Amino acid sequence: MKIAVLTKAIPSYESSIRIDASSKWIDESVVNYVVNESDSYALEEALQIKEKLDNDSEVVVITMGSQDNTSKILKDGLAKGADRAIFIHNEDSNTDPLSIAKLFSENLKDENFDLVFSGLQSDDLGSGQTGVLLGELLGMSTATLGIETDVQDDRIKVKRELESGWFQWVTLPFPASVSIQSGINEPRYPSLKGIMGAKRKESKVIEGELSDTPKQNFINLFIPKTEKATEKIEGDVDSIVAKLIDILKNKLRVIS
Amino acid sequence: MILVVLENQRGNIHAFSKEAVSAGQKLASKLGMDLSVLCMGENASSLKEQAADFKVQNLILAQNEMINSYSADGYSKVLSDIINEYEPKYVIMGHSYMVRDFLPRVSAKLDLPFISDIISVTYDNDNPIFARQVFNAKLATNIQPEQGSNTALLSFQSAAFSSDDIELGGNESSLTFDVNLDVGDIKSTSEPEFQESSSGVDLTTADVIVSIGRGIESEDNIPMAEELATVMGAEIASSRPVVDMGWLPSYRQVGSSGQAVSPNLYFSVGISGAIQHVVGMKGSKNIIAINKDEEAPIFEIADYAVIGDLMEIVPKLTEELKK
């Protein structure tokens, strides 16, 4: 079985996010890129399926974007156990989910993957569409927010997370594209052997060209306005704690 | 035409769908367009009855036994056919888990833009501009569909519009769409929805909640937060990463995949304020947030923004409250 895992480099939580001079994107020079959190769970799920099947299954880790931001995350995927990597090189500052999905589909259709796994959404743009769009473009069945999977011969059972503690099992025949919810498993760390071995694995670079006009465009990024009159409390620990006690006792009266 | 699609949530109109109706009414009135509301699937007739008072031009009913249980295959096919038939300028839904599951399929089938999780609408003359949060809500962006798009698919974040604003007055006409599905259109099979047994902790009735996030850093620090909750007479809760790590059970989770709470005080400790969490707690009457990152999005909705190290503040606060 051939499993694709879509993975994306996104700014780390600690990164400073500044709007650049174009006002359409962020200043990438001050950003530290890491793998999108739910994508790590997607990769782990794929690796566990491969290990469980114990046959000649293959896990291919795939990303798109600029060389600088993404090179680390493919190495990381290979070190964790993916068999090969595909890097779709594209420097366009394109934010349209559909044209991004088309770029994936045009460059991956000949791979004939049985399964495509992706994280449920990226923590940068957060559209949460790529896996489903790609599934449709490749004629696959799709499911989202998978919190448990069970591969059976020519199909995959997926436990979908619904809202407010509800769930549903769906069964998809192959080929299928499934987006993975974080928390589904415990992503592994790369072993030293894995890191050494990664260097010998195939890592293919494809020059990806956008084939048509994006269907939606960023006009400008902006800093959201504060919705409330927020009182800032800062300083040394003692004064912060004194202030908090005053608020809890006298303003909110939640303690006596 | 603007088309609002109602989502069936176990026999009732989904709360997000009511907000979508409100959004649709406002957009239709601003743009001078007709508004239609689509009821599809198993409980379509019941949804139609529940929607009977909404002030809209058309109610559209789409039923077929093959979409009696939800599937992305079935729903995306039927909605695509309906869009081809009526050619609405905008298709509006709430940004629910179901919408995330099937609306991108419609986008890809019909080659239409899908702008998801919209928080607000502004206008450039008569052209709507849609804003959504990006970079974990640290920034927002204004988006427009490509000029040539005949139809744009839109989903609105919960509470972007209020269902209290729905204009009543009934509909002018109602019609039935002839659903056309073949057995081969639906490749997946779905089992009934189910709820996993919870421990009986009902966070929705708590007066005070101490909620912890990724900033707690380690499982070893959980007791520190639990102790603060105890001295405050509060329930302990968390954002998703803490549950994912297995540091607290899932029934303690607040957010889109957990519980939605509105306590008198939400005391947030080390939570950055990702959208998925905020939708579950922004109705809290008072919000105190501790975070060392001054730019944490949680501060945008907090009444008190404590910028500092929780590892120092929490034990000290607990100690002082014990006195």
> CA of A162: which chain B residue's CA is closest?
B97
CB B189 within 8 A of CB B246: no
Query: Is the predicted pLDDT of residue B87 greater than 70, yes or no?
Result: yes
Are A244 and B232 an interchain contact pair (Cβ–Cβ within 8 Å)? no
Enumerate domains of chain A plus CATH numbers: 2-207 (3.40.50.620)
At B268, the pLDDT band (50, 70, 90 cuts) reads very high
Q: Which member of A124, A145, A220 has the closest CB to residue B135?
A: A124
The pLDDT tens digits of the residues spanning B192-231 come to: 999 876 566 778 889 999 999 999 999 999 999 999 999 9
Residues of A in contact with B101 (CB under 8 A): 132, 142-145, 160
What is the reported pTM? 0.89
Mean pLDDT of chain B: 94
Residue B29: partners with Cβ closer than 8 Å, 6 or more residues away = none
Q: What is the pLDDT of residues A160-175, one digit of tens each?
A: 998 877 899 999 999 9
* All structural domains of chain B with their residue ranges: 2-185, 203-322
The DSSP letter of residue B298 is G
Give the whole-angstrom CA distance, residue A95 versus residue A64: 12
Question: How far is residue A170's CA from residue A167's CA, in Å, rounded to a whole number?
Answer: 10
Residues B26-32 have a mean pLDDT of: 96
CB contact under 8 A, A136 and B139: no
CA distance linking residue A51 with residue A68, whole number of Å: 31
Lowest-pLDDT range, A100-104, B72-76, B105-109, B195-199?
Answer: B195-199
How far from the centroid of its chain's Cα atoms is residue B219's Cα? 29
Evaluated on CA atoms B42, B47, B49, B50, the torsion sign reads: positive
Contact A237 B214 (CB under 8 A): no
**Tell me, which fold does domain B2-185 have in CATH?**
Rossmann fold (3.40.50)
Q: Above pLDDT 70, what percent of chain A?
A: 99
Least Cα separation, residue A202 to chain B (angstroms) = 31
| Beta strands, E only, chain B | 2-6, 8-9, 12-13, 35-40, 56-62, 90-94, 114-124, 127-134, 139-145, 152-156, 171-177, 189-190, 194-195, 208-212, 235-238, 265-269, 286-291, 304-307
Q: Which two tokens stand for residue B293?
A: 């990152």
How would residue B92 be classed by pLDDT, with cut points 50, 70 and 90?
very high
pLDDT digits (tens, 9 = 90+) for A225-237: 766 789 999 999 9
Chain A residues with beta carbon closer than 8 angstroms to that of B149: 215
Q: What is the mean pLDDT of chain A?
A: 93
Determine the distance from the C-alpha atom of residue B259 to the mean position of all C-alpha atoms in its chain, rounded to a whole number: 12
Asked whether the beta carbons of residue B145 and residue A14 sit closer than 8 angstroms, the reply is no
Indicate the range of A24-28, A58-62, A91-95, B256-260 predicted with least confidence.
B256-260
Secondary structure (DSSP) of B274-294: -HHHHTTTTT-SEEEEEES-T
- Residue of B96, B123, B146, B230 to mutate, testing the A interface (most A Cβ within 10 Å of its Cβ): B146
For residues A45 and A63, what is the distance between their CA atoms, to the nearest angstrom?
Answer: 17
A227/A211 Cα distance (integer angstroms): 40
For chain A positions 23-52, those within 8 Å of chain B (CB to CB) are 26, 37
Answer whether B105 sits within 8 Å of A222, measured CB to CB. no
Tokens of B158: 């919960």
CB contact under 8 A, A144 and B97: yes
pLDDT tens-digit map of A59-111? 999 999 988 888 889 999 999 999 999 999 998 878 999 999 999 999 999 99
For domain B203-322, which architecture applies?
3-Layer(aba) Sandwich (3.40)
Say whether A221 and B141 touch across the interface (CB within 8 A). Answer: yes
* Contact in structure between A117 and A4 (CB atoms under 8 Å): yes
Interface predicted TM-score of the whole assembly (ipTM), two decimals = 0.92
- Residues A139-157 have pLDDT tens digits of 999 999 999 999 999 999 9
Q: Decide: helix, strand or coil at residue B261.
A: coil
The amino acid present at A120, given as its one-letter code, is L
CA distance A86 to chain B (A): 23
- Using CA coordinates, name the residue in chain B closest to A233: B306
Of B285, B209, B306, the closest CA to residue A241 belongs to B306
Query: Stretch B253-281: mean pLDDT, rounded?
Result: 90
Would the CB atoms of B108 and A218 count as touching at under 8 Å? no
The distance of A230 to chain B (nearest Cα, Å) reads 5
SS3 assignment, position B262: coil
Strands (E), B74-223: 90-94, 114-124, 127-134, 139-145, 152-156, 171-177, 189-190, 194-195, 208-212
